[in-house]
Amino acid sequence: MKGREFLRDLHTVQRMYIDGEWAASSTGAIREVINPATGERIGLVAEGSVEDTIRAIQAARRAFDQDGWAESKARERAMMLLKIADLLEQRTEEFAWLDTLNNGKPLRESRYDMSDAVNQFRYYAGLATKPHGQTYDVPDQMQAMVVREPIGVVAQIIPWNYPLVMATQKIAPAIAAGCTVVIKPAEQTPLSLIRLFEIIDQVGFPPGVINLVLGAGETVGAEMARHPLVDKVAFTGGTETGIRIMKAAADTIKKVSLELGGKSPNIVFADADYETAVDYALFAIFANQGEVCSAGSRLLLEESLYDRFVPELVERAKQIVVGPGTDEETEMGPLISEEHMNRVLWYIEEGRREGATLLCGGRRLTENGLGRGFFVEPTIFTDTHPGMKIVQEEIFGPVLVIQTFKTEEEAVALANGTKYGLAGGIFTSDVAKAHRVIRKLRAGITWINTYHPTFNEAPWGGYKQSGIGRELGPYGLEEYLEVKQINVNLNVVPSGWFKKRSPVTS
């Protein structure tokens, strides 16, 4: 850890940030944070309570309603976002290390995430000051116009697979829109977001504008989703949790945006560029240990390509270097926790039990010093059928299932054959076919002859049970804005709708 002085203070209890001040838990509770590569404790954080959460929500409400944030100027907010970007950019290596130690992902992936995070603040700083209204040509000497206004207090709930970047892609548009924020990281991965609040504190937002709460989903998260002073909940996480959040938000008709799970198809036709398709089939599922909502976890392969494609894919999967994310050579890190590793291993057993053929992997890795961490081999199943759990359910780990097809129609039917609709890719050298198939995919994020690249400029989100709403791009800002219609009378005379009559005398 030489030269990594920024890691030293993790064992003093990291606190929440409520109403412009660092805050311990009202109950004094503390949670241990674990390094999934070693199973060791790497930090201590305050475990927030419902009471802490309510305090944060009330501060955000006051900042919005009474302290003037709702009337703050877009230019002023943009300057603050740019300041965050600059300060974060100076510390990206530190933040990358924190996410790798805490989440397990290889450093090269964390570094990529950090550059995304910096860019998100810059992107939304730019968007904040662009025109957001419209005027309409209407009859009757009226002028109709639409203005956009911040939704108000937003609660943002974050998963563990991209600890910082999932948070920044919510904070940046919410602040650009003029909302106030209460945000909660996943219990497992709070470290980088806590550190981001050092920067937020430095930038000098008015108290209550951005608040950080820490703690369990069932207590702190549930209160955020339920509390009547919250106007909107933005959530990224599992579909089951999304359902609970939507129900909790329903009682007070909160706006919700949900970025949920997936079981995304990666369709490879026989006429695809072979090397590219093999390469991306690996990247689609094994990047970030398969802990990616949009992972290409189902490989849909044209049958005539099977005998050439699958042996090479398996060989390449076996060569993936699995190890601690902090080793620069590591290509795939550990899973987030022992509990999650056991869930993934359970699915692998279930796949075997259901009759699928295991082509490679399938085991926990314990050799070469990996025994205390939560490592699972890159795993590939074939001989699957659409009814199997491993085909239908999100495993959220390095497990690929192969399905085969003979025709374009069959490929589309298989691709759309789950409850999810987050993402999907297609590999072919036939441009017309690529477009035909992509247009039939019931998914929000799609790729032709590539898999995974996404950009802060373009919308991110799912069809079907993969979510509601979109993050990123101009759509991501819309999610934090209300739409107000203003009608102005240009001819200020009475309407005469009700006749003016002489007063009735008795």
Provide the binding-site residues for ligand NAD, judged by CB under 6 A. Answer: 157-161, 166, 184, 186-187, 217-218, 221-222, 225, 236-238, 241, 244-245, 259-262, 293, 394, 396, 422, 462, 467
Local structure of residue 407 (DSSP, 8 states): S
User: What are the start-end ranges of the H helices in 37-141?
Assistant: 50-65, 74-89, 92-103, 107-128
Query: Could you tell me if 126 and 78 are in contact, meaning their C-beta atoms sit under 8 angstroms apart?
Result: yes
Nearer to ligand NAD, 83 or 244 (CB): 244
With beta carbons less than 8 A apart as the criterion, state whether 113 and 454 touch: no
Nearest to 393 by CA among 384, 230, 186, 275: 384
Q: Look-up: residue for tokens 């094994």?
A: 286
Shortest distance (Å) from residue 114 CB to ligand NAD: 17
| Nearest residue (CB) to ligand NAD, 218 versus 315 | 218
Q: How many CB atoms lie within 10 A of CB 271?
A: 15
- Provide the minimum distance between the beta carbon of 480 and ligand NAD in the complex, in angstroms, as a whole number: 16
Sign of CA dihedral 454, 169, 29, 226: negative
Distance CA 322, CA 331 (A): 6
Contact 246, 226 (CB under 8 A): no
Shortest distance in whole angstroms from residue 501 CB to ligand NAD: 60
Q: Does 259 participate in catalysis according to the annotation?
A: yes
Q: 106 or 185, CB closer to ligand NAD?
A: 185
Q: Which is nearer to ligand NAD, 31 or 195 (CB)?
A: 31
- Minimum CB separation of residue 418 from ligand NAD in Å reads 13
Cβ at position 463, least distance to ligand NAD in Å? 11
Separation between Cα atoms, residue 42 and residue 449, nearest integer Å: 40
Of the candidates 47, 187, 291, 293, the residue annotated as catalytic is 293
Alpha carbon of 288 to those of 91, 96, 105, 283, 346: distances in Å?
Answer: 22, 14, 6, 9, 20
Q: How far is the CB of 393 from ligand NAD (least distance, A)?
A: 10
Least Å distance, CB 159 to ligand NAD, is: 3
Q: CA 464, CA 63: separation in Å to the nearest integer? A: 36
Phi/psi of residue 475, nearest 5 degrees = -60, -35
Distance CA 71, CA 66 (A): 10
- Residue sitting closest to ligand NAD (CB): 217
Nearer to ligand NAD, 158 or 332 (CB): 158
Residue 495 in tokens: 């309407």
Q: Which is nearer to ligand NAD, 257 or 326 (CB)?
A: 257
Tokens describing residue 291: 């802990």
- Is the CB of 34 or the CB of 245 nearer to ligand NAD? 245
Tokens of residue 156, six digits: 């943002």
Catalytic entry in 187, 223, 259, 394? 259
- The answer to whether 355 touches 336, Cβ cutoff 8 Å, is no
Rounded CA-CA distance 58/480 in Å is: 19
Annotated catalytic residue 360: no
Q: Please give the positions annotated as active site.
A: 259, 293
